[in-house]
């Protein structure tokens, strides 16, 4: 298990010096690359020396392209004519030849079908529809923080951060309370492991457990629908034709994964960033910076989903490099969000930063459906911290998530000193 201190939070330097490392030797598929590495320096080198980088094939995995500049990442996000998501949208599926949910799950569906399913789901994600869910987020966050502060020293990741996004997405889906911890445990196994000991088999089994769970729940909602998003999927139709069982199940699966991991990582990263940058914590605490800009800077700074990916549909060029039809192209948000041509002093954690056009939620046709809800969750945490916590101290080393997709921490021991 890799144990890291708060000073390892990107983009601050750590023990690995990358100034003389050959970039062709950097393995972006290996989770170890993102642990104990100065990621700010790594991505700065890629943007400068090899912004459209050809990542060589290995004995087990095919070659792919890695785009690290903001302008290139944005151009591909916007372009659903020359790039597709239907053969996978992250390295784990792209490198294996495709995603079994392609054409069924919103994130890996393109064109008219994507627009139709997205519009169906948007009814459950409008600010008006989410009003009650957001109220529950604030109540849950206040309660969790109150109980955690009473302990003094605790693991913020386990005691607070784990329960907010999972509780929220389960409210949205009307998942029974007794099932929520199981879903959280399965979810953590699918996209990330708390250590290098996690196996592909465990992730596969956890994924199947989630799919089976939602298969049963969707059938129940079709018989007895409610106001939740599962009912909307189970009873909805496109051009008069109901969604298939696979479409319903895969989109439930996508909501659970996307709704939990990013918000959880951003919340944990926010607390560790406040520890590391006490001047910014004081500025926020004293009201010298606003809630909105604080939330956006934390989303940029943490960038939980490090990359997304596409397949090229036609031959083309990016910055003079020939991308062939069928090539895998990965878009590194974690680099784009620190591109100095877009963000002034990107290595500085600045809660007053504006504008802040980060790509943490992606962009274009596949912009994150739950972005509004994710922002509300983070703002509820920030509001709670400002109102209830006087100061924050780190009480032990934080442990980095072991992943080539997610950036964040699985543990964060801290001491909260209560306000007043």
CA 274/CA 281 separation, integer angstroms: 5
CA 371/CA 351 separation, integer angstroms: 19
pTM here is 0.91
Give the SS3 label for residue 319: coil
pLDDT at 320 over 80: yes
The CA-to-CA distance between both ends of the chain, in Å, stands at: 38
| Residues 6+ positions from 398 with CB-CB distance below 8 Å | 3, 4, 5, 6, 8, 268, 272, 409, 411, 412, 413
pLDDT at 3 over 60: no
**Listed range (54-63, 181-190, 401-410) with the worst mean pLDDT:** 181-190
Per-residue DSSP letter, 35: S
Residue predicted with more confidence, 236 or 52: 52
Long-range contacts of range 393-396, CB-CB < 8 Å, 24 or more positions apart?
A: 393/275, 393/417, 394/5, 394/6, 394/272, 394/275, 395/153
pLDDT for res 198: 60
Query: From the centroid of its chain, how far is CA 136?
Result: 22
Specify whether the CB–CB gap between 252 and 389 falls below 8 A: no
Give the model confidence (pLDDT) of 56-113 as tens digits.
998 889 999 999 999 999 999 999 999 999 999 999 999 999 998 999 999 999 999 9
Taking CA atoms, 232 is separated from 12, 119, 120, 173, 415, in Å, by 44, 11, 7, 10, 42
pLDDT for res 2: 35
> Which percentage of the chain shows pLDDT scores above 70?
93
Phi and psi angles of residue 263, each rounded to the nearest 5 degrees, phi first:
-65, -40
Q: What is the mean pLDDT of the chain?
A: 91
pLDDT for res 11: 45
**How many other CB atoms are there within 10 angstroms of residue 135's CB atom?**
13
Residue predicted with more confidence, 30 or 128: 30
Give the model confidence (pLDDT) of 213-227 as tens digits.
999 999 999 999 988
pLDDT for res 184: 80
Q: Mean of the pLDDT values across residues 183-199?
A: 68
Q: How confident is the model at residue 146 (pLDDT cuts 50, 70, 90)?
A: very high
What is the full DSSP assignment across 255-311?
Answer: HHHHHHHHHHHHHHHHHHHHHH-HHHHHHHHTTSS-HHHHHHHHHHHH-SB-EEEEE
The burial of 136, by beta-carbon neighbours within 10 Å (0-12 exposed, 13-18 middle, 19 or more buried), is given as: middle
pLDDT for res 191: 58
Specify whether the CB–CB gap between 339 and 47 falls below 8 A: yes
pLDDT for res 166: 85
Look at residues 255, 268, 281, 302 and name the one whose alpha carbon lies nearest to residue 164.
268
pLDDT for res 47: 98
pLDDT for res 304: 96
Q: Mean of the pLDDT values across residues 182-188?
A: 83
Q: How confident is the model at residue 327 (pLDDT cuts 50, 70, 90)?
A: very high
| Residues 6+ positions from 65 with CB-CB distance below 8 Å | 52, 53, 54, 55, 318, 321, 323, 327, 328, 329, 330
Residue predicted with more confidence, 86 or 186: 86
Q: How confident is the model at residue 17 (pLDDT cuts 50, 70, 90)?
A: low
Specify whether the CB–CB gap between 239 and 354 falls below 8 A: no
pLDDT for res 154: 98
CA 265/CA 295 separation, integer angstroms: 13
Residue predicted with more confidence, 10 or 94: 94
**Listed range (108-117, 122-131, 270-279) with the worst mean pLDDT:** 122-131
Element at 151 (helix H, strand E): helix 131-151
pLDDT for res 392: 97
| Residues 6+ positions from 383 with CB-CB distance below 8 Å | 138, 141, 291
Look at residues 185, 206, 134, 189 and name the one whose alpha carbon lies nearest to residue 375.
134
pLDDT at 206 over 70: yes
User: Where along the chain do its domains lie?
Assistant: 3-418
| Residues 6+ positions from 7 with CB-CB distance below 8 Å | 14, 276
Looking at the domain covering 3-418, what would its CATH class be?
Answer: mainly alpha
Q: Mean of the pLDDT values across residues 116-130?
A: 88
Give the model confidence (pLDDT) of 348-386 as tens digits.
999 999 999 999 999 999 999 999 999 999 999 999 999
pLDDT for res 323: 98
**Dihedral in degrees, nearest 10, Cα atoms 101, 102, 104, 107:** 90
Q: How confident is the model at residue 13 (pLDDT cuts 50, 70, 90)?
A: very low
CA 333/CA 69 separation, integer angstroms: 9
Residue predicted with more confidence, 19 or 15: 19
């Amino acid at each position: 298990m890799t144990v890291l201190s708060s000073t390892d939070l990107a983009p601050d330097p750590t023990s690995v010096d990358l100034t003389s490392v050959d970039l062709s030797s950097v393995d972006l598929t290996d989770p170890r690359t993102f642990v104990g590495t100065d990621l700010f320096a790594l991505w700065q080198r890629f943007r400068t020396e090899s912004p459209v980088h050809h990542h060589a094939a290995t004995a087990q995995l095919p070659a792919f392209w890695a785009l690290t500049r903001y302008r290139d990442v944005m151009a591909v996000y916007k372009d659903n004519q020359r790039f597709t998501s239907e053969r996978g949208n992250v390295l784990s599926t792209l490198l294996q030849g495709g995603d079994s949910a392609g054409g069924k799950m919103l994130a890996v569906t393109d064109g008219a079908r994507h627009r139709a399913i997205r519009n169906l789901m948007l009814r459950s994600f409008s600010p008006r529809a989410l009003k009650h869910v957001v109220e529950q987020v604030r109540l849950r966050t206040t309660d969790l923080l109150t109980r955690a502060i009473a302990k003094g020293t605790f693991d913020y990741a386990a005691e607070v951060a784990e329960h907010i996004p999972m509780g929220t997405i389960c409210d949205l889906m009307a998942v029974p309370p007794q099932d929520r911890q199981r879903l959280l445990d399965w979810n953590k196994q699918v996209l990330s492991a708390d250590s290098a000991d996690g196996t592909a088999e465990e992730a596969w089994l956890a994924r199947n457990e989630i799919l089976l769970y939602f298969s049963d729940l969707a059938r129940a909602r079709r018989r007895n629908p409610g106001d939740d998003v599962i009912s909307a999927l189970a009873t909805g139709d496109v051009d008069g034709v109901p969604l298939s069982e696979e479409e319903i199940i895969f989109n439930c699966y996508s909501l659970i994964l996307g709704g939990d991991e990013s918000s959880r990582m951003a919340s944990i990263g926010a607390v560790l960033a406040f520890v590391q940058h006490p001047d910014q914590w004081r500025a926020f605490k004293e009201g010298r910076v606003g809630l909105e800009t604080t939330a956006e800077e934390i989303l940029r700074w943490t960038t939980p989903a490090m990359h997304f990916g596409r397949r090229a549909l036609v031959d083309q060029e990016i910055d003079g490099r020939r991308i062939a039809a069928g090539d895998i192209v990965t878009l590194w948000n974690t680099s784009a969000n620190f591109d100095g041509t877009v963000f002034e002093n990107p290595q500085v954690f600045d809660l007053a930063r504006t504008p802040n056009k980060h790509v943490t939620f992606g962009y274009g046709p596949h912009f994150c459906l739950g972005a509004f809800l994710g922002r509300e969750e983070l703002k509820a945490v920030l509001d709670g911290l400002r109102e209830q916590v006087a100061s924050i101290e780190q009480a032990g080393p934080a442990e980095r998530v072991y992943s080539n997709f997610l950036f964040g921490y699985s543990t964060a021991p801290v001491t909260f000193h209560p306000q007043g």
